Structure formats: structure tokens, C-alpha cells
């Protein structure tokens, strides 16, 4: 947890430049939109089939990741880099292991009974599965938003936002009020709830609940936010609101979003990873590239078939 919460200014404009201390490499990702290819951290952490990586500073690097449920391999040999402070979308047909993959990044995968894994997930160069990393601590840096809004039903809006701080033991009582306002503003919910912070979290509409969950995730001051189909249970208007929010958070947080909705991926993400399912029913990474390229001129025939709606 960083020292100064005010540093993450809520009022910052959409394209706030990333804070230097978050950079994995000295090269700022802000140079990327121009297209200057940057080598992915250590030796071409290969995106299979991809040209020598054209990914900016990698916040997360996945190497030869396999994920299992008991004897069943759900995800096979995934290696990829996830760019710092960008939005990376993961798309693919149902059952191809997208969510399983996402949950391996903050070690939620291991909470499932009989789940296991091998390979590496490096966060700023540190393998999150190495023995010296504590999963509980890890999850403070890698937050998560779920498919169905899940505010804690026994807590007020206020208490929901600060739940992570209070229950995680990182709370300094003094400025909880400040945290609540800052995070609710960041989640675009402040104006709607500022007069009823003591109302129950579940009294809000579905879209508001989801934004409350995003505010809750922001409150513990993570660097990475994982979103597992965050809008699939919401109506189009609420969905749009979430997408706008993601674009506002871009640049300050590394966001990984799993989505069934290809339009959503193309609207919000900088990079897109396409997963598919092999003969053995294990999900694997078909290709990963800039979102524009995946949707216009992908390298793989399979990707093209999927994004053009020919299957899946």
C-alpha cells in the first residue's frame, strides 16, 4: 500500500499520465500510442505466434502457465505480457478458461477445491506464486471485480467502500471519509449516493452496485484490477457507464477484463488476447495483439473467424 492516498487524485483528467513509480521499466507506456515497439521485459516472454513482442512495459508477465481442476487441465501453456496502465481484454468462446486464467493472476484460482497450477505469474518481476509471496497481501495489490455485483449485504454503502481497509487491517481511522469520497468519485458514483452513504449497499441498482464494487476495489489502492465480465449482468446503459469508468481508470491502473462481448473489448481495450479451446478442452492463447489489429487484421485464421462472428 502506498503512503499517500491523496496522490491518486480523483479529479485527475482521463488521460492522467502514469505515475513514474509504477513503471516496471523506465520506458513510459505513454509513448506507446505512437507505436514505438518496446521489448517486453526479459527474453521475449513469447506471445505464441506473435511477432517479437510489441507490448509496452509489462506489469504482469505470464510464463508457461497451466491451470488445473483436479486432473482436468483448464488452461494450457499460456505465456503473455500485460501492459502497465493499459486495458487488456481477454476474449474467447465459453469454457475456454478466460475466467480461470484471470483468477490465477490474484491467486483466486487456488481457492477452488482441487485446483492447481504450474508456471509463473510475474508481477513487477516477482512470481506471485513463489513461497515468499502471501496470497492475502497479493490481493491488496491486485483487485478484482466480479461478474455479478457482490456488495456485502450487511454493510452500508460507506462500509462497503472501506471494507477492504477495515477488514484487511490497513485502515487508518482518520481519513476513511476521505477514502470513501475519493473512491466513490473515481467510480463515478459519488453524486448518486453522497446523501445516502448509510443506506445498504444492496439498495442500489445493479449498475450502481457494480460501480460500488469498483469503488470498493479501488479503496485498497491496488495497482492491477481484474474484471471478470463486469458488465454482463447489466443493462446497456449501465454497461456503457462501466466502460466509461474503465477508460477513466486507464493510465492509473493496469486493467485486465474478461468479456464475452467483442464490441466491448474493441471499445475499451488497448490489447486483446484471444483464447480458444483445444481438442483436449483446455483453453489456450491463440494470439494477443493490439486490439485494433486483432479486430481488423489478426494473424490467425481462428481469431478472424471468431471476431467476425463465424463461431463462438
Please report, as ranges, the residues that interact with another protein according to CB under 8 A: 106, 108, 111, 136-141, 143-144, 146, 148, 150-156, 163-164, 167-169, 200-202, 213, 216-217, 220
d(CA 246, CA 118): 31
Least distance between another protein and beta carbon 255 (Å): 15
Report the nearest approach of another protein to the CB of residue 220 (Å).
6
Q: At what angle do helices 236-249 and 206-219 cross, to 10 degrees?
A: 20
By C-beta, is 77 or 110 nearer to another protein?
A: 110
Residue 78 or residue 214: which is nearer to another protein going by CB? Answer: 214
In angstroms, the CA 102 to CA 140 distance is 16
CB of 149 to another protein, least distance (A): 9
Site of grid cell 508457461: 64
**By the 8 A CB rule, do 222 and 181 touch?**
no
- CB count, 10 Å around CB of 235? 12
First to last CA, the chain: 40
Shortest spacing between CB 178 and another protein, in angstroms: 18
* 50 or 224: CB nearest another protein: 224
CB-CB contact of 207 with 238 (8 Å): yes
Of 50 and 213, the one with the shorter C-beta distance to another protein is 213
Task: Output 140 or 241, the one with its CB closest to another protein.
Answer: 140
> Based on CB atoms, which residue is closest to another protein, 158 or 274?
158
Q: How far apart are CA 271 and CA 105, in angstroms?
A: 17
- Shortest separation between residue 198's beta carbon and another protein, angstroms: 8
CB of 147 to another protein, least distance (A): 8
Q: How many angstroms separate the Cα of 219 from the Cα of each of 3, 202, 276? A: 13, 18, 34
What's the min distance (Å) between Cβ of 281 and another protein?
Answer: 23
Using the minimum distance from each CB to another protein, give the nearer residue, 69 or 152: 152
Q: Residue 224 — left, alpha, or beta (φ > 0 → left; ψ -120 to 50 → alpha)?
A: beta
Contact, 187 vs 245, CB < 8 A?
yes
Distance CA 107, CA 116 (A): 10
Amino acid at each position: 500500500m502506498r503512503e499517500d492516498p491523496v496522490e491518486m487524485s480523483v479529479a485527475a483528467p482521463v488521460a492522467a499520465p502514469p505515475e513514474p513509480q509504477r513503471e516496471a521499466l523506465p520506458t513510459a507506456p505513454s509513448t506507446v500510442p505512437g507505436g514505438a515497439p518496446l521489448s517486453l521485459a526479459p527474453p521475449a516472454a513469447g506471445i505464441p505466434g506473435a511477432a517479437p513482442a510489441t507490448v509496452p512495459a509489462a506489469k504482469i508477465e505470464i510464463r508457461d502457465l497451466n491451470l488445473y481442476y483436479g486432473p482436468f487441465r483448464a488452461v494450457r501453456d499460456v505465456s503473455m505480457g500485460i501492459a502497465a496502465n493499459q486495458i487488456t481484454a481477454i476474449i474467447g468462446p465459453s469454457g475456454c478458461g478466460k475466467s480461470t486464467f484471470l483468477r490465477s493472476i490474484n491467486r483466486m484460482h487456488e481457492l477452488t477445491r482441487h485446483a492447481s497450477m504450474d508456471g509463473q505469474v510475474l508481477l513487477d518481476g516477482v512470481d506471485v506464486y513463489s513461497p515468499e509471496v502471501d496470497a492475502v497481501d497479493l490481493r491488496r495489490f491486485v483487485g478484482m471485480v466480479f461478474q455479478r455485483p457482490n456488495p456485502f449485504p450487511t454493510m452500508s454503502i460507506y462500509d462497503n467502500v472501506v471494507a477492504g481497509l477495515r477488514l484487511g487491517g490497513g485502515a487508518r481511522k482518520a481519513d476513511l471519509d476521505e477514502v470513501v469520497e475519493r473512491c466513490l468519485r473515481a467510480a463515478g458514483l459519488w453524486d448518486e449516493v453522497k446523501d445516502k452513504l448509510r443506506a445498504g449497499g444492496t439498495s442500489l441498482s445493479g449498475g450502481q452496485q457494480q460501480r460500488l464494487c469498483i469503488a470498493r476495489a479501488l479503496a485498497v489502492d491496488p495497482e492491477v484490477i481484474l474484471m471478470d465480465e463486469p458488465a454482463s449482468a447489466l443493462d446497456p446503459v449501465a454497461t456503457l457507464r462501466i466502460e466509461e469508468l474503465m477508460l477513466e481508470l486507464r493510465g492509473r491502473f493496469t486493467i485486465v477484463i474478461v468479456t464475452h462481448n467483442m464490441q466491448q473489448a474493441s471499445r475499451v481495450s488497448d490489447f486483446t488476447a484471444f483464447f480458444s479451446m483445444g481438442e483436449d478442452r483446455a483453453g489456450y492463447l491463440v494470439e494477443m495483439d493490439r486490439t485494433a489489429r486483432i479486430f481488423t487484421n489478426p494473424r490467425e485464421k481462428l481469431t478472424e473467424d471468431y471476431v467476425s462472428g463465424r463461431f463462438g
